[in-house]
A = this chain, B = another copy of it.
Amino acid sequence: MAEYFPGPGRNHLFVPGPTNIPERVMQAMSRQNEDHRSPAFPVFSKGLVEDTKRIFKSTKGTCFIIPTTGSGGWECALTNTLSPGDKILTYRLGQFSALWIDRMRRLNFQPDVVELQWGTGVDLQQFRLKLATDRTHLYKAVCVVHNETSTAVTNDIAGMRRVMDTLGHPALLLVDAVSSIGGLDFRMDEWGVDVALTGSQKALSMPCGLGIVCASPKAIEASKSAKSLRCFFDWADYLKSYKSGAWWPYTPAIQLLYGLRAALDMIFEEGLDNVIARHRRLGEATRLAVKAWGLKLCTTNPAWYSDTVTSVMVPPHVDSGKVVKLAWKKYNLSLGIGLGDLAGKAFRIGHIGHLNELQLLGALAGVELVLNEVGVQVPVGSGVVAAGSHLSKSTPLIVSRL
C-alpha cells in the first residue's frame, strides 16, 4: 500500500470538518458510475434537489448542488448576486471570514470590513449603527459567517435580519453556513437569508466535494441583473437544466449525490430538530469540560457559543500545536489547530456531524491526558465528569430503540 499506516484502532476525528461519515452514506457511495443522461437519473435528481432545501429550513429557496467546496460556494454566492464594484458590509471575526473577505476583494467587490476581536461575534447594536449610516443603500449585500469555525463564534442571523428590516435596508443577506447547516438551527426562510451555503464534509457528514448553495427568490431575482462574470458557478445554467429536466449543466458528482441522498434520509429519520438538539448537547458538554479544566474558551460570550466547534485557549507557556500533534501521534485523536491569529494559542474540538455522546467523552478524556502530558496541568477526569454529567441528564433514549 502506498498509504500511511494509520495506527491501531479508530481515528478519533474531532476537527470541525471533515467529519465522520456514517456507514450508510459510505454504502450509498460505493457504487458504479452510471449514465446521468438516462431517464432514471433526473427522477432521482429532482427529489434530491428538492429535499436538500429542508436542511436549510426553506421551502421558497432554490438549491444548487455543485461539485466544489465551501470556498467555491463563497464565490458562487457572491458572483451570482453582485456586480463588480458593489459595496458589501461584512465582518472579520476569524480565519474563515477573513478568507471570504479576501475572495470578495479578489472578485472586485468592495467589502467594508468591520474588524471584530477574534472570539467575539457581531454586536447587533453596532450593526444597526453601521447599517444606518448607509442612507443611500450603497451596501448591496451584508455578508456574514453564521459559525466562524476558527473562533467557535455563532452569529445571530435572525437578529441581523431584524436590524435590516427595521432599517428597511434592501441589501441581500449572504450567509456562510458551512459549519452550521445540519448542525445548528438555521432558518433560511424565517430569517430572510438570501443566500446560504455549506459543504458536504461538515455537518452533513459526507466526503468533501460538494458545495451546496441555497438562494432565496430575491437572490434569484438579483442574479438576473448581477454583472459579475461566472460560468462554472452560474445559477442560470443550473436553472436552465432544472427547467429542461436535465437537472445538471455538466456531469454531476454521481456518487456524492447518492451519498447526499443517504445523508438527508438519515437526518430526516433522526429528525432535523433532534439533530440540532444533539449538537447543542454535545457543544454544551464540551464547554463544561473546558471550564472544568480551568481553561478559557476563545469565544468570549455565551451569546456566541458554537455548538459545532469549541476553541480552547492554552496557557501562554504552551504551544497549542503541541497539543494537536501529540493527540494525533499518541492517541490517534485529530483535533483542530489554531488558525490565523490563533496559531499556537488555541486548539479546536469539533463536535459536528454524525457523532454521539461517548465518542465525545472518549475525545475529551484524550484531551485531558494530552494537556497534562504537554504541561498544561488540568485535573484528570474533571472534563469528562462535567461533560458526562450534563450528557447523562440531557441525552434522550434513541428513538428507534424504545
Contact = CB atoms under 8 A, between A and B. Distances in A.
Contacts of A201: 33, 251
A356 interface: yes
A270 B8 CA distance: 7
Counting every copy of the chain, the complex holds: 4
Interface in A343-390: 354-363, 365-366, 368-369, 372-373, 380-382, 384-385, 388-389
Given A68-B232, A208-B67, A358-B12, A2 B32 contact: no
Contacts of A384: 361, 365, 381, 384-385
A43 B4 contact: yes
A-B residue pairs, 7 tightest by C-beta: A362-B362, A9-B356, A18-B33, A381-B385, A361-B365, A7-B398, A5-B400
Nearest to A326: B397
A344 B326 CA distance: 41
A18 B34 contact: yes
A392 B373 contact: yes
A363 B365 CA distance: 11
Nearest to A4: B40
Contacts of A382: 381
A254 interface: yes
A2 B69 contact: no
Contact of A330 (B5, B366, B397): B397
Given A70-B250, A209-B256, A380-B389, A398 B365 contact: no
A193 interface: no
Interface stretch (A21-29, A162-170, A307-315): A21-29
A365 B37 CA distance: 22
A126 to B, nearest CB: 29
Interface string A42-62: 011001000000000000000
A142 interface: no
A21 B44 contact: no
